[in-house]
Structure 1
Amino acid sequence: MNEGDPMEVRLMRVDSRLLHGQVATNWAKVLKVDRILVVSDQVAHDNIRKTLIKQASPPGIKVHVIPLMKMLRIYFDPRFNDFKALILVENPRDAQTLVENGVQVKLVNVGALSFNSSRQMVTDSISVDQKDVEAFTWLHDQGVKLDIRKVSGDPSKDLWKVLTEKGLVKREPNNIHA
């Protein structure tokens, strides 16, 4: 990579569980990453969760738990250009913030989003609220493919299509990527 290229993000994944066995063993190996960047303001300030996440890291792969704004700083810092990274975020709004601020991804993988009474189930492992739908809509409008897969070998499902079929998308997208 040359001096002007930011770090290589091999995958951005939205998963409310963040780093767990499936991510650690499957995605990291398939993607041949050398860093897993868990990007979460909440977890970065929670030493117990941070320790548990680091313990889940696969052998030979460094795991860093960092706040959102620090991720944006290191993404553009030439000292980190050689990273081959898997970025994990807890929710689609954090993915949107990263992309809005220049993190380059063509695809966002969605693993699981936990259910609660304010959220609507859209698949067996993904539930959304209105803010999630707005973030996914924004990402879709930027040309980012929204991929549903738990592990890399699963068949890819299009989250945008699922959201549209469930009637959660209230308008036509602003671009030609529909």
Structure 2
Amino acid sequence: MTMEIRLARIDSRLLHGQVATFWTRFVKPNRIMVVSDTAAKDDLRKTLITQVAPPGVRANVVSVNKMIRAYFDSRFDSFKTLLLTENVGDMLRLAEGGIDFSQIGINVGSIAYEDEMTMITDAVAMNDRIAKQIQTLVNDFHLEVTAQKIPADKKIDLLNLIQKKGFKVN
């Protein structure tokens, strides 16, 4: 038995109002696992993130490797988890580490714009490196990767959108 993951979400903002209200109401987790090597090393950021968790849901901030270990540790089998990473690379590392997202796929809430990126939705910025990571999640791990800000929004197939926008994924 392993930890139950109810939502695996990439959101460069990590835990914020939309996640704390809409998504927790929708997936009903008892635990929010924020998975970020940088946030796990930043005590102030960890404190701020854990304070945003809605009532009745505990939040933890852990490194990618610690999340992989926890997923396979029977002590955490009671977790009904909303899992958040701030980038596609960390989610890919979790999949490579053996975390099974096949039943739920990967939800992308936002990828923050940086230099030399292109906005492909109003909340998702893309470059060739990230496009290739998404392609790996789809092709190698057979995952559905969709953009969706809140549960009421229509899901957008990200690999299809990336290909339509002309990103080099091969």
What is the aligned partner in structure 1 of residue 120 from structure 2?
Answer: 122
Instruction: Give, in whole Å, the separation in 2 of the partners of 1:133 and 1:157.
Output: 15
What is the aligned partner in structure 2 of residue 13 from structure 1?
Answer: 9
- Output the amino acid matched with 2:93: T
Cα shift at 1:32 = 1.1
Q: Once superposed, what is the RMSD of the aligned Cα atoms?
A: 1.0
What is the aligned partner in structure 2 of residue 176 from structure 1?
Answer: none
What is the aligned partner in structure 2 of residue 175 from structure 1?
Answer: none
What is the correspondence of 1:100-115 to structure 2 with a 5 Å cutoff?
Answer: 100-106=96-102, 107-115=105-113
What is the aligned partner in structure 1 of residue 149 from structure 2?
Answer: 150
- Output the amino acid matched with 2:49: I
What is the aligned partner in structure 2 of residue 30 from structure 1?
Answer: 26
- Output the amino acid matched with 2:26: V
- Is 1:61 equivalent to 2:63 in the alignment? no
Cα shift at 1:43 = 0.4
Instruction: Give, in whole Å, the separation in 2 of the partners of 1:135 and 1:63.
Output: 27
Question: Between Structure 1 and Structure 2, how many residues are aligned?
Answer: 167
Instruction: Give, in whole Å, the separation in 2 of the partners of 1:126 and 1:33.
Output: 25
Q: Deviations over 1:103-122 (max 9, x none)?
A: 01131000011112122211
CA contact (8 A) 1:38 1:88 kept: yes
- Segments of structure 2 that go 5 or more residues without pairing to the other structure are none
Instruction: Give, in whole Å, the separation in 2 of the partners of 1:80 and 1:127.
Output: 34
- Is 1:72 equivalent to 2:68 in the alignment? yes
- Output the amino acid matched with 2:156: K
CA contact (8 A) 1:19 1:88 kept: yes
- Is 1:82 equivalent to 2:78 in the alignment? yes
Instruction: Give, in whole Å, the separation in 2 of the partners of 1:74 and 1:23.
Output: 22
CA contact (8 A) 1:93 1:131 kept: no
CA contact (8 A) 2:127 2:167 kept: no
- Segments of structure 1 that go 5 or more residues without pairing to the other structure are 172-178
SS of residue paired to 2:110: coil
Instruction: Give, in whole Å, the separation in 2 of the partners of 1:67 and 1:33.
Output: 20
Q: 2:48 aligns with which of 49, 52, 71?
A: 52
TM-score by length of 2: 0.95
